Chains A and B, each alone.
Chain A
């Protein structure tokens, strides 16, 4: 296990060197959040923050509560205790729609693509928040509705070019290989032009090439658009390379919080990954 927790130079294809990123103030802050399902405590009293423009990794062994944490940030789960402060607004309960409209978007551990639609339609669905024209204009598919459709199509095509998925534009996503599906899901999340992008194991099940591509996309988005990224990932090499800070969860509790180097050397983290209970 310890051997994994070390830098993998080949993944660091697009390092941070030469970028002019600025990491700003805290944009999201999680305070004393606890979440339980019946008797099962998914999260116990966890607090951390995410700064604007940084890439924050959330790592930990399986069952640590990482996905639940993202769900809480998203508004999908409501914490039993604690608050979330996003862009200065504190709340304990938030509807997912509000989270999305405030600029939070995400991808999912087990893929949640709209299987009945094509790649293009899936990513266009990500623009739904921004499309304003009423039903009557849509029924005519003319005038304002048509120009809005074209405008958003252009934005989506930029994302498609960026993610190099032009060739599967019209393919029904259910038929695509897993790696491409994950890419489409990233595209859909990007279509929302989020301020905070939550990625749940975006590289799960990918080979080295695909991971390099994915890392490149994430870094580019972070670099050029200034999107803040919160990332759950199991590949330690990726985590250590691309993230600015890391928070480590185990059994629903936070056991470490700091830069990749700090976390890598933390004894509690090493124990957790080696399976030593404490």
Chain B
């Protein structure tokens, strides 16, 4: 029973951590769904949002503004920062590159990543900034069945709830609204969408803004968990296996992918890691994604690409 309890604990912890990965992956899915661009800069956007949030929060609290008001204002400030970023990206990078192929746009997002990382840290600072938006302790559940109960971290649960809410909102947005439909058209073919009168510049601004807000949401949770610091950008890389497994264009897929990656990682670390020497988490997700790709080159939920010539 002890062993099973330990397994459950690891599993739950992994699943919840996976939901947090999904939060970051959702930003990718949004942008990819709407513009066909893989946004390498999503991780940097999480960092930027986190920095704007935590620095303005600290600034206001130090000036004596009551915590609750400060939090709301800080969130608004961070949202504005993300909106400005979205506008700048749209005007200076995406606009000029509108008809280029996916590879060029991807490399442009790598460039954007570095600009955001450099500028964000230059403006807001490059230390580690702790964020206290959610309780950081843990519950012990099912104490009756398992000795001492299973450790479930509160942040992880909050993250799960937030991710769930976000998915619901995004799903409605894409399926039901006019803008959502326009976004899907743009994703399929930029030039064609432009030619039927869909205002691409506005659409892309909206998309990157929403992705920025998703990044902000992810920053609140991850910032509390890890502290707002530079290494958060590597979350972006972790989202890649999530997207491969869940598909680049599927919102529910991002959740499923995140769950699989999160749980898989933790379980592999605890059980496989014993045998090989620990630190498996570092690469397990990528190798898992690679294995999935070998079987299904388009990912688990992706669409089969029929080549035409």
Contacts and interface: CB of A to CB of B under 8 A. Distances in A.
Interface of A: 37, 71, 76, 108, 110, 112
Contacts of B306: 37
Interface in B276-309: 306, 309
Contacts of A37: 306
A37 B309 CA distance: 14
Contacts of B309: 71, 76, 108, 110, 112
A110 B308 CA distance: 10
Contacts, number: 6
Nearest to B304: A38
Nearest to B307: A76
Q: How large is the interface on B (under 10, 10 to 19, 20 to 34, 35 or more residues)?
A: under 10
A76 B306 CA distance: 12
Interface residues of chain B: helix, strand, loop or mixed (majority): loop
A185 to B, nearest CB: 13
Contacts of A108: 309
Contacts of A112: 309
A238 B306 CA distance: 32
B307 to A, nearest CB: 8
Nearest to B306: A37
5 contacts: A37-B306, A71-B309, A76-B309, A108-B309, A112-B309
A39 to B, nearest CB: 13
A37 B304 CA distance: 12
B100 to A, nearest CB: 13
Nearest to A76: B309
A35 to B, nearest CB: 12
A112 B309 CA distance: 8
B155 to A, nearest CB: 45
Contacts of A71: 309
B305 to A, nearest CB: 12
A76 B308 CA distance: 10
A42 to B, nearest CB: 11
Nearest to A74: B309
A64 B28 CA distance: 40
A37 B306 CA distance: 9
A108 B307 CA distance: 14
B304 to A, nearest CB: 9
B298 to A, nearest CB: 15
A80 to B, nearest CB: 14
A173 B137 CA distance: 64
Contacts of A110: 309
A201 B55 CA distance: 63
A112 B306 CA distance: 17
Nearest to A200: B309
A99 B309 CA distance: 16
Among all A-B residue pairs, the 6 with the closest Cβ atoms: A108-B309, A112-B309, A37-B306, A76-B309, A71-B309, A110-B309
A85 B309 CA distance: 23
A34 B187 CA distance: 33
